[in-house]
Amino acid sequence: MKLPFKLASKSATGIAALTVAVLALSACGAGGSTGSGSGSAGDADGITVYNAQHESLTKSWADAFTKETGIKVTLRSGDDSELAAQLVQEGKNSPADVFLTENSPAMTQVENAGLFADIDKDTVAQVPEQFRPSTNKWTGIAARSTVFAYNKTKLSTDQLPKSIMDLAAPAWKDRWAASPSGADFQAIVSAMLELKGEDATLSWLKSMKENAKAYKGNSTAMKAVNAGEVDGAIIYHYYYFGDQAKTGENSNNVALEYFKNQDPGAFISISGGGVLASSKHQAQAQQFLKFVTGKAGQTILQTGGSFEYPVASDVPANDKLTPLADLEAPKIDPAKLNSQKVSELMTSAGLL
Amino acid sequence: MARTTAARSARGPAGIASGPVPAPAGGRSNRSGPPPVVVLICVLIAAFALLPLGYVAVMTVGAGWETISTLVFRPRVAELLMNTVALVVITVPLCVVLGVGGAWLVERTSLRGHKAWSLLLAAPLAIPAFVNSYAWVSAIPSLSGIFGGVLISTLSYFPLVYIPVAATLSRMDPALEQSGSSLGLGSWRVFARVVLPQLRLAIAGGALLVALHLLAEYGAFAMIRFDTFTTAIYEQYQSTFNGAAANMLASVLVVFCLLLLLAESRTRGNARYARIGSGAQASPARLTLGLHAIPAQLALAALTALAFGVPLYHVGRWLIAGGATIWARPELVSSLLQTLGYGLAGALVTTALAFPLAYLAVRHPGWLSKTLEAVNYISSSMPGIVVALAFVTITVHGLPAIYQTSTVLVAAYVLLFMPRSLVNLRAGLAQAPRELDEAARALGKAPFTAFLRVTLRLSAPAAAGGAALVFLGIVNELTATLLLSPNGTATLATEFWKLSSEIDYAGAAPYALLMILLSAPMTYLLFSQSKKAAGQ
């Protein structure tokens, strides 16, 4: 009876050996097939960008940068706050070299964790003071304006809200939309928090829970406005221009209202870029940021399909856009925008 | 004799049912203890499989009562609970009615073209739920909420009930039904009192699968603005990475899953349905439909049109609208290659790891093998978002060396899709008697050669079937892939998701088409396998 046991255990060893072999083989297979992006970052020659900006925009920057310098760029895309929190948890082990966002609160979060290196002097010189924090731990790379996008057939100009705060009124129940899970909207709320205080913001958010329809993403919210599912939506300006430049299929019934008048709803959000102190490719990372804020990078904003506002190197905005200076935005220090408080308030209002 | 019954009892509705199949009985297979190496590997796999559950437990306990009470007992969670419960309570019975009704029409009536219908009813499985959602949103842009959620998930998941029920129906011994009618029962009452009870296992297994899919689905519901626990966890993840609120929602979701597993094991019961005794089983009689044939054909046509026709039509429409330019994105080819790479790697590793577990279950059944198997089933019922959340947190803090590598993603796939491989392999190994292995050795083959040339070869078809199903799962996986993939990775599913989130529906269409094309042969395999298991 001893014999079968021995045999069985040998065949088991065989299985084990086979398992290991298959594991090893498939690991190679997976590694090979995922191309340059696989493996832990840092071993590839080139830089890794944690990208919360629209991927198409960052791709245009990355492609132009690679063409000019030969430095490869690998992107990891996600949301502002997701990637910021991820960077904070990764700490010194982060594979990221550069962090680009759509809104500044996420930059502040990473800055407060002490993870950013100082921005290169050349970059600082390219960006006007109002578009970067005084610490120079990161810089503005683009800007976007809050708008009320409304359906022209459902609302006439005299029926429009005068302030974003008006949307809390019961008259607006089920008539407006937003994308509360997105960092864009949360940045707008952080501006409100800074301008109006915690109590007013929380009560506005609670009314929003009653009044607003939540969509996933600003494009979807605008599409709903266009289709007449809601009268209007709080989004950023460029979704409209981007769609108009394509087919207009999701925006032909849409018009934009800028609140102006230093309203929280006239908030201009600064998209940021920073270099991680833990980056093993400091020079290349700084070079990338300098490129993005330089003439070439900013011209991509002016002429490309993103329709975001350039902020540096004296590049003017796309002709189709209302100039930034005419938008009467409230003056807000980006360092004061508190994203963590916002997500707490939104969680307690039941929006998250 | 004992061996053939054992082998047959292990040949359940292979592939699709994830509930444990009774292990083969018989004293001979227990003659020696399980080999320690195999046991060690199995225990390691089980320990690994427990990581997500352990993560949720540790996070919940670590959060402390105050955090739990503020983050769990709030209106938003009640709202999510209502949505999720309503979704399960409405969708599961609908899937059971459609699945059983369809299977009965196809297998037990004189329906014309029943061969074609039997395949068409399984076909919607080839359409990933989020592609289905994309098609329906294209058809009805305002589709949302519980109605939309129920519509899309019913159409996507009813084949999960249909396939095992059809397999069982075609295998069922008609003698019992004949006794029923000879004792004066009408055909409806025969169905209700004789047939339906025999379908209990298949229905309960299918219903459990539907329910678990409902809990885990993200893309399909996010697209139509229907909030469930999974969509809310993902939103929290987008706002806070792995913040406390996401973890608390995950722990509620896990409790939900465990309750479902418990409920399913309760309904399974201990009754025996197997035919014993000598003689061959007659093939079941088919009921003549007569005038009812027309409404039956119409109903099946309507169901197929909604579940299969609508998605195909809209994917096709977007493909035409997009023209040639949508095929020009360079990401298309690379994401196809990456999907194939991950699918193959995941399928291989999962099958390799399922081998020792299946071997233990078949050759050395006992409390150990049962426990290890149960662990794998439970952990694989965890939604992808929970597994991903656990793996992200564990690797970012504890294992920086493999953080954000393809290894972690493949590991998550293994964990999520292990039962698909396990169920198949166990059935295959049960059909490879150890005596053949021993005979080969007695004839002078080295043990390893004997294993390779006998056992491995005999179980290879089953292993391949299981691997194909794992591959199918990986091709359509979204949440874990989004969270865990290495920098720069894009799969068909993630690219499709990104484009359709930016409402570039035309741009997303080629990815939808490729996912359907990759899934179609696997679905056919699954379908024909269930027929084979049923002895046809």
Q: pLDDT tens per residue, chain A (352 residues)?
A: 333 434 344 444 444 444 444 444 444 434 333 333 333 334 457 999 999 999 889 999 999 999 999 999 999 988 888 899 889 888 888 999 999 999 999 999 899 999 999 999 999 999 999 999 989 999 999 999 999 999 999 999 999 999 999 999 999 999 999 999 888 999 999 999 999 999 999 999 999 999 999 988 899 999 999 999 999 999 999 999 999 988 888 899 999 999 999 999 999 999 999 999 999 999 999 999 999 999 999 999 999 989 999 999 999 999 999 999 999 999 998 888 888 899 899 988 989 8
Contacts of A75 in chain B (CB under 8 A): 487-488
CATH code for position B42: 1.10.3720.10
Provide the residue ranges of all domains of chain A, joining segments of one domain with +: 47-142+268-324, 144-266+340-348
Mean pLDDT of chain B: 85
Model pLDDT, residue A21: 47
Model pLDDT, residue A93: 87
Q: Sign of the CA dihedral A173, A174, A180, A182?
A: negative
Give me the mean pLDDT over the B104-131 stretch. Answer: 91
Model pLDDT, residue B186: 83
| CA–CA distance, B293 with B295 (Å, rounded to integer) | 6
Determine the CATH number of domain A47-142+268-324.
3.40.190.10
User: End-to-end alpha-carbon separation of chain A, Å?
Assistant: 64
Confidence of residue B268 (pLDDT cuts 50, 70, 90): low
A215 is in an annotated binding site: no
A238 is in an annotated binding site: yes
**Residue pointed to by tokens 């439909």:** B289
Select the highest-mean-pLDDT range: A242-256, B54-68, B248-262: A242-256
B16 compared with B404, residue with greater pLDDT: B404
Contacts of A186 in chain B (CB under 8 A): 239
B432 compared with B79, residue with greater pLDDT: B79
| CA–CA distance, B395 with B391 (Å, rounded to integer) | 6
* Neighbouring residues of B119: CB distance < 8 A, sequence distance ≥ 6: B524, B527
**Which residues of A, range 217-236, sit inside 8 Å of B by Cβ?**
217, 219-220, 223-224, 227, 229
Work out the angle between the directed axes of helices B244-268 and B367-380 (0-180°, nearest 10). Answer: 130
User: End-to-end alpha-carbon separation of chain B, Å?
Assistant: 21
| CA–CA distance, A312 with A290 (Å, rounded to integer) | 10
CA distance B312 to chain A (A): 22
Secondary structure letter of residue B443 according to DSSP: T
Positions of E strands within A110-250: 139-151, 176-178, 212-214, 232-236
Asked if the C-beta of A9 comes within 8 angstroms of chain B's C-beta atoms, the answer is yes
Q: Tally the residues of chain B.
A: 536
Q: Which of A80, A89, A216, A345 to mutate to test the interface with B (most CBs of B within 10 A)?
A: A216
Model pLDDT, residue B274: 62
Model pLDDT, residue B279: 67
* Neighbouring residues of B395: CB distance < 8 A, sequence distance ≥ 6: B402, B403, B404, B408
Model pLDDT, residue B243: 77
* Neighbouring residues of A314: CB distance < 8 A, sequence distance ≥ 6: none
Query: Taking CB atoms and an 8 Å limit, are A26 and B410 in contact across chains?
Result: yes
Fold match, A47-142+268-324 / A144-266+340-348: yes
A150 is in an annotated binding site: no
Q: For residue B282, is it within any domain?
A: no
| CA–CA distance, B119 with B431 (Å, rounded to integer) | 27
A54 is in an annotated binding site: yes
Q: Output Rg (C-alpha) for chain A, integer angstroms.
A: 24
**Which residues of B, range 340-369, sit inside 8 Å of A by Cβ?**
340-342, 344-345, 348-349, 351-353, 355-356, 359, 363
Q: Which of A5, A13, A38 to mutate to test the interface with B (most CBs of B within 10 A)?
A: A38
Contacts of A110 in chain B (CB under 8 A): none
Model pLDDT, residue B127: 94
Report the Cα B388 to chain-centroid distance in Å: 18
Model pLDDT, residue A87: 92
**A9 closest CB neighbour out of B37, B223, B404:** B37
Q: Sign of the CA dihedral A292, A293, A299, A301?
A: positive
Positions of E strands within A93-155: 98-100, 139-151
Q: For residue B344, is it within any domain?
A: yes
Model pLDDT, residue B337: 94
CA distance A48 to chain B (A): 8
Model pLDDT, residue B383: 87
Q: For residue B283, is it within any domain?
A: no
For B117, phi then psi, to 5°, come to -60, -40
Burial environment of residue B290 by CB neighbours within 10 A (0 to 12, 13 to 18, 19 or more): exposed
| Angstrom distances, CA of residue A248 to CA of A223, A242, B323, B329 | 10, 9, 17, 21
What string of DSSP letters covers A234-263?
Answer: EEETHHHHHHHHTT-TTTTTEEEE---TT-
CA distance B123 to chain A (A): 30
Work out the angle between the directed axes of helices B505-533 and B330-363 (0-180°, nearest 10). Answer: 20
Contacts of A276 in chain B (CB under 8 A): none
Query: Taking CB atoms and an 8 Å limit, are A16 and B356 in contact across chains?
Result: yes
* Neighbouring residues of A249: CB distance < 8 A, sequence distance ≥ 6: A243
Q: Sign of the CA dihedral B78, B80, B83, B84?
A: negative
Lowest mean pLDDT among A110-119, B280-289, B413-422: B280-289
**B235 closest CB neighbour out of A30, A181, A229:** A181
| CA–CA distance, B493 with B476 (Å, rounded to integer) | 6
Class assignment of domain A144-266+340-348? alpha beta
Model pLDDT, residue A233: 97
B523 compared with B452, residue with greater pLDDT: B523
pLDDT digits (tens, 9 = 90+) for B353-380: 998 888 888 888 888 888 888 888 888 8
Query: Taking CB atoms and an 8 Å limit, are A22 and B348 in contact across chains?
Result: yes
| CA–CA distance, A204 with A168 (Å, rounded to integer) | 6
Secondary structure letter of residue A78 according to DSSP: -
**A74 closest CB neighbour out of B38, B242, B487:** B487
A261 compared with B251, residue with greater pLDDT: A261
Asked if the C-beta of A181 comes within 8 angstroms of chain B's C-beta atoms, the answer is yes
Q: Is the pLDDT of residue B303 over 50?
A: yes
| CA–CA distance, B385 with B365 (Å, rounded to integer) | 33
Contacts of A17 in chain B (CB under 8 A): 448
| Angstrom distances, CA of residue A136 to CA of A100, A107, A111, B27, B224 | 15, 11, 10, 76, 42
Give me the mean pLDDT over the B104-114 stretch. Answer: 90
B420 compared with B136, residue with greater pLDDT: B136
Burial environment of residue B465 by CB neighbours within 10 A (0 to 12, 13 to 18, 19 or more): buried
For A162, phi then psi, to 5°, come to -85, -25
Query: Taking CB atoms and an 8 Å limit, are B487 and A86 in contact across chains?
Result: no
Model pLDDT, residue B8: 35
CA distance A253 to chain B (A): 15
pLDDT digits (tens, 9 = 90+) for B203-240: 988 898 899 899 989 999 999 989 998 998 888 887 77
pLDDT digits (tens, 9 = 90+) for B440-481: 888 888 877 887 888 888 888 888 888 988 998 999 999 899
β-pairing verdict for A176-178 and A212-214? parallel
For B192, phi then psi, to 5°, come to -70, -40
* Neighbouring residues of B286: CB distance < 8 A, sequence distance ≥ 6: B108, B109, B110
Cα A279-A285-A288 angle, rounded to 5 deg = 165
How many domains does the structure of chain B reveal? 1
Query: Taking CB atoms and an 8 Å limit, are A186 and B239 in contact across chains?
Result: yes
Confidence of residue B31 (pLDDT cuts 50, 70, 90): low
Report the Cα A327 to chain-centroid distance in Å: 22
Contacts of A348 in chain B (CB under 8 A): 74
Nearest CA in chain A to B35: A9
| CA–CA distance, A315 with A20 (Å, rounded to integer) | 58
Question: To which H or E segment does residue A51 belong?
Answer: strand A47-51
Secondary structure letter of residue A116 according to DSSP: B
For B186, phi then psi, to 5°, come to -75, 170
Secondary structure letter of residue A271 according to DSSP: E
What string of DSSP letters covers A305-328?
Answer: S--PBP-STTPPPPTTSPPGGGG-
Domain, as residue range, for B337: 2-270+293-533
| Angstrom distances, CA of residue A198 to CA of A193, A201, A279, B441, B490 | 6, 5, 37, 78, 40
